[in-house]
Structure 1
C-alpha cells in the first residue's frame, strides 16, 4: 500500500514536473539551472526521491515560485483529481500487492501521464458519485476481484482449518457443532457469550452478533439465529482469534467498513469458519458421488448439505471454493438474492464470478430476469409459507440456463430458505456451472429431462424477448440499442438518396 511518505514524494514530483513543463524546460535544462544532476531530478519527478531544503530553494528560484508553494501537498486545479485520489482512504489502505502490483507501478503511471490520468480519475469519480457509489462498495468490489483472481480458493486458510480440524474435531464426527464451538470460545479464549433479542436490545434489531473486546471478551448473539447460523458465528470468531486478524469488524450484518484490510480480514475469518464447518476432504468426496449420479436428485443434494452443520449459503460458498482446485471447473458464479415475502422486489445482495462472462450483476434500477430459478424458487417458498405448508427446511431446484444473446449455457443449482433474524425475508443462494466439456464429463445428470431448460437474460430492460410471459418491465434498453443500430445502418444509404 502507498504510505504517507510515498504520497508526499509523489505530490512533490508531480508538482515539480508540471511547473517545469509550464516553463517550457527540458529536464536537463532545469537540472543545469538548479545545480542538480538530471538523473537525480528524474527520480524526484517520479516520486522516488525527496530533495533537501537547499535543493528545493534552488528549484523554486528557477521555476519562479515560492518554497512554501513547492512543498505544500496541494496540486492545483489541473491535478486536483490525482490529489483527491492520493489523499483518499482507498489508495492508502488498498493492499496492491494482493493483486500482483507494487506501489511503484502506480507511482510510475501517475508520474508519466498525470494530466491524462487525472482526467480519467475525475471521470471515474464523477460516475461513482452519479451512481451513489461509496468507499465501502469499492472495498467489497475489490474483495470480489481478489476472490476471482484466486478462483475463490485459498490454500493457506485451508491448511489452517485442516490443522484445527485434526486437533479438535471429535472422533467419528464429520463437522463441528455449534455447542462445541461455543465452548471452545469460552474455554480457549475466555469469552462470555450472551444471547439477546430485539425486545431486550431494540438498538440491535437485525444484527446477528456483536463482540465487545476486553477481558473477558463479551459476545452478544441474536437469540433468533438458527443453530447453523450460530455455528458459523462462533467459527468465524475463532478464525479471528486463531489467525490474529486485525483490524476487524465487531458488528456482524454490517455493510460499512473502515478499511479494505477490515473487509479482507472478515473474509478470511468467514472462509475459515466455512472450512471447519464443511471440511474440504468430506465435501470433495460427497460432491464427486453426487455429480456421478445419472439423474438429478435434489433431495440428495440436500442430504449432502445436511451432513454438515452449515447454512445453505456457507455450503454453496464451500462448493465454489473447491471447484477449481479439486474438480478443474473454473468458470463458476455465485449469487444471493433477498426478497421480502409480500414483495415483488428481488435484491442481489452477494455475487462472485470466477470468469468474465455474461452474468447477472447488481443493478438497483433494473428488473432481474424472472426466468432464473434463483428468483422463481423464492416465489415458490413465499407461497408455501403463505399456505402454511413450509416445513422449515431449504428448498432445492435446478435448471439449465441458456443466455439468450450468447452461446453460454449453465447448470444453475439454487437453495432457498428464510433469513433470520430478519422477519419476513427469504434468501436464495445459487451456483452456476458452465456447460463446457469438463462439466459435461464431470456431471452425469445434465441430460435428465427433469432439469428444465430456459432461455434467460440479465434484466427485463435488456431482453429482446418481447412476448416473454415472465416479463416484469418493458425492454427499454434493448429497444434503445436497436434504434441506435438502425440509425447507424441508415446513415450511409440516406446520403446516397439525398445526392441522387
Structure 2
C-alpha cells in the first residue's frame, strides 16, 4: 500500500479506539503528553508517529503495540481498507473538484458500512450498465465542465495572448493554416505530413484524423480530413505546446488513455483550439447581432457558420462556452447524435448539460429516442436528400417536455455527413431553456417558430396517438400501473381502518 494510505489507516484506527474509549483529543493529549494538534494530524492521516510515540498511544489505549500498527482493521473499518486497497480513489479525479482525499476518507470512516454499501451499489449499477473506466472518466470531465459553466477564462486569455504574439488578426482575419503550421515547425520543432491513412494495411486507421509520434515530433494528418478538421488539429497541437502539457493523447479522435490527466489536457487543448479559431470577442459580437433580431430566421445561423471555416460542431460547442459567461444563459444542453444510413437507430455520442440535468440524456437501455426531436429530423432530411441538395441540413423548433414539468427549450440542430464513415450521418444540437434565454434572445418570442411536444424515449412517453412513435410506452405504463395500485392499496387501508 502507498505510504499515505498506511498513515490514513493508522489514523482511522486511533480515532476509532479513542472514540470507543470515550476519550476526547484533549484527554488523550493529557494522558500521552502529545499535543492535541499533533494527535489531530495523526487521525487525519497527515502524520505517522515514531515508535516511542506509538508506544505511548498503545499504553494509553491499553492495546498491544502490534495490534495498533497492524494494517488489519476490524469489521467496522474493513470496508475502508477494501476501498483503499482497490485503488478506487485513485481512479476518481478528486483534485479536479477541489476535494482532498483525506476529507473523503474521513467521511467514509464516520459511517464505513453505509458508505461501503453505497459505493458497492454504484459499482453494481456501473457493471449492469456496462460503465467502463472510459465512460466514468468522461462523466467526471463533463461534471467538471458543468461545474465551471464550461467557460475557462485562463484558456481564453492564453488564446488571446497567442494571437497577439503570432497573428496580426487585422479586420477580423482568421489565423491561417499556413501560419499555424509554420509556428509548429519553427517554435516547437514539428514536421507535419499529410498521409492517406487508407493505404495502410489496417483499414481502421482510415477513420482517424491524425497521429502524433512524440519522439520525433512528427504530426501525421489524414489527407481525407476536411479543411475545418485540419485546422482544428493544428490549433489543438498548438494548444498542447503553448500551454505546456506533457501528458497528452497522440491520436485524434483518441483511441485510449493511460490516466485522467491525458483526458483533461486533451479537453484543455481542444478548448484552446476553439478559442483560437473562434476568438471570443468577435464571436460574442456576432451572437449579439443574431440574438437582437425580432424575427426568427434560421439563415442567420447559416450566415454565422459561413463567416468561419470551422465545422458547425465547433461553432455550437464554442457557443456553449460563451452563452453562460456573456449572455447569462446557463440552462442549456449540447448533443451529438449519429446514425447509420438505412438503420433508423440513433446513438447519442456526446452530451453536455449546464446548470441542471436537462432533457434529453443518453440512455444505456436501448430505448428509442423520441422521433419528434429536431436532432433526429435533420438526420432524416439529410438521409433523404438528393446529391443536388446542400450537405448541411439545419432546423430548429421549440421543444416542450410535458412529462418533465413542461420544460420548454429552443433547440437548433445541424446534420452533416461523417467524412470518415460514409455510411454514417451526424447531428449536433444546442438547446436553450426558453424562460432563461428569451431575455437575451429576442427572436425566441417569434410565434412562427415551430412548437412540438417531445419526450425522451418512446418507452417512457404517455402521448396518445403519436404518429412518430416507434415503440410501445412500456416503462410509462408500468409507472402508471404502480401509481394506480398504490392509490388502491391506500384506499383499502383507509377503508379497513375505520
- Give TM-score, length-normalised by structure 1: 0.89
- Equivalent in the alignment of 2:284: 284
The equivalent of 2:179 in structure 1 is 180
Q: Equivalents in 2 of 1:38, 1:28: separation in Å? A: 12
Partner of 2:133: 135
Question: Alpha carbon RMSD of aligned pairs, Å?
Answer: 2.8
Q: Distance in 2 between matches of 1:326 and 1:28?
A: 52
Deviation, structure 1 residue 104: 4.2
Aligned to 1:415: 414
Query: Are 2:111 and 1:110 aligned?
Result: no
Within 1, Cα distance between the matches of 2:142 and 2:402? 26
Q: Distance in 2 between matches of 1:173 and 1:283?
A: 10
Structure 1 residues 190 and 499: alpha-carbon distance in aligned structure 2, compared to 1, 3 A threshold: closer
Distance, in Å, in 1 between the alignment partners of 2:244 and 2:140 is: 22
Matches of 1:269 and 1:50, distance apart in 2: 40
Return the offset for 1:232: 0.5
What do the CA deviations read for 1:116-157 (whole angstroms, capped 9, x no partner)?
Answer: 322222222222222221222222111111111111111110
The answer to whether the Cα contact below 8 Å between 1:14 and 1:114 also exists between their aligned partners in 2 is no
Contact 1:337 1:427 in 2 (8 A): yes
Query: Who is 1:428 aligned against?
Result: 427
**Partners in 1 of 2:174 and 2:393 — Cα distance?**
22
1:314 aligns with 314
Q: 1:455 to 1:493 in 2, by over 3 A?
A: same
Query: In structure 2, how many angstroms separate the alpha carbons of the residues matched to 1:9 and 1:491?
Result: 54
Instruction: Decide whether the 8 Å contact of 1:47 with 1:111 is kept in 2.
Output: no
2:83 to 78, 82, 85: 85
Residue number in structure 1 paired with 2:21: 25
- 1:266 Cα deviation from its structure 2 partner: 0.8
CA deviation after TM superposition for structure 1 residue 364, in Å: 2.2
Task: Say if 2:462 and 2:473, in contact at 8 Å, map to a contact too.
Answer: yes
Indicate which of 87, 97, 100 corresponds to 1:99.
97
The answer for the alignment partner of 1:495 in structure 2 is: 493
Structure 1 residue 251, shift from structure 2 partner: 1.8
Q: Quote how far apart the aligned CAs of 1:89 are.
A: 5.3
C-alpha change, 1:91 and 1:496, in structure 2 (3 Å) is closer
Does 1:477 pair with 2:478? Answer: no
**Is the CA contact 1:399–1:413 (under 8 Å) kept in the aligned structure 2?**
yes
Q: CA deviation at 1:223?
A: 1.8
For residues 96 and 364 of structure 1, do their structure 2 counterparts lie closer, same or farther at Cα, with a shift above 3 Å needed? Answer: closer
User: CA offset at residue 57 of structure 1?
Assistant: 5.6
Note if contact 1:174-1:282 (Cα within 8 Å) is conserved in structure 2: no
Q: Deviations over 1:455-488 (max 9, x none)?
A: 1111112111132111121111111111111121
Map 1:6-405; keep pairs closer than 5 Å.
6-17=4-15, 25-27=21-23, 35=32, 37=34, 39=36, 40-41=38-39, 43-56=41-54, 67=66, 71=69, 73=71, 75=73, 79=77, 81-87=79-85, 91-92=89-90, 94-170=92-168, 171-194=170-193, 195-202=195-202, 204-214=205-215, 216-254=216-254, 256-365=256-365, 366-384=367-385, 387-392=386-391, 394-405=392-403
Q: Distance in 2 between matches of 1:26 and 1:243?
A: 53
**SS state at 1:92 partner:** helix
Contact preservation (8 Å) 1:90, 1:135: no
TM-score, with length taken from structure 2: 0.89
Q: CA deviation at 1:217?
A: 0.4
* Contact 2:29/2:39 (8 A) holds in 1: no
Change (3 A) 1:267 1:497: same
The change in CA–CA distance for 1:402 and 1:262 in structure 2 (over 3 A counts) is same
2:454 paired residue among 443, 456, 459: 456
Distance 1:176 1:435 in 2: 35
Report how far residue 63 of structure 1 moved: 6.7
More displaced stretch, 58-67 vs 472-481? 58-67
Between 44-53 and 184-193, the greater mean CA deviation after superposition: 44-53
> Could you say if the C-alpha distance between residues 87 and 445 of structure 1 is closer, same or farther in structure 2, counting changes exceeding 3 Å?
same
Q: Secondary structure at the match of 1:442?
A: coil
SS at match of 1:395: strand
- Structure 1 residue 433: Cα displacement: 1.1
Aligned counterparts of 1:448 and 1:300: Cα–Cα separation in 2: 14
Task: Supply the distance in 1 between the matched residues of 2:138 and 2:16 (Cα, whole angstroms).
Answer: 35
Deviations 1:237-284 (A, max 9, x none): 110000011311112223633222221111110000000111111111
Which stretch of structure 1 is more off in the superposition, 460-469 or 26-35? Answer: 26-35
Separation of aligned partners in 2, 1:139 and 1:183? 34
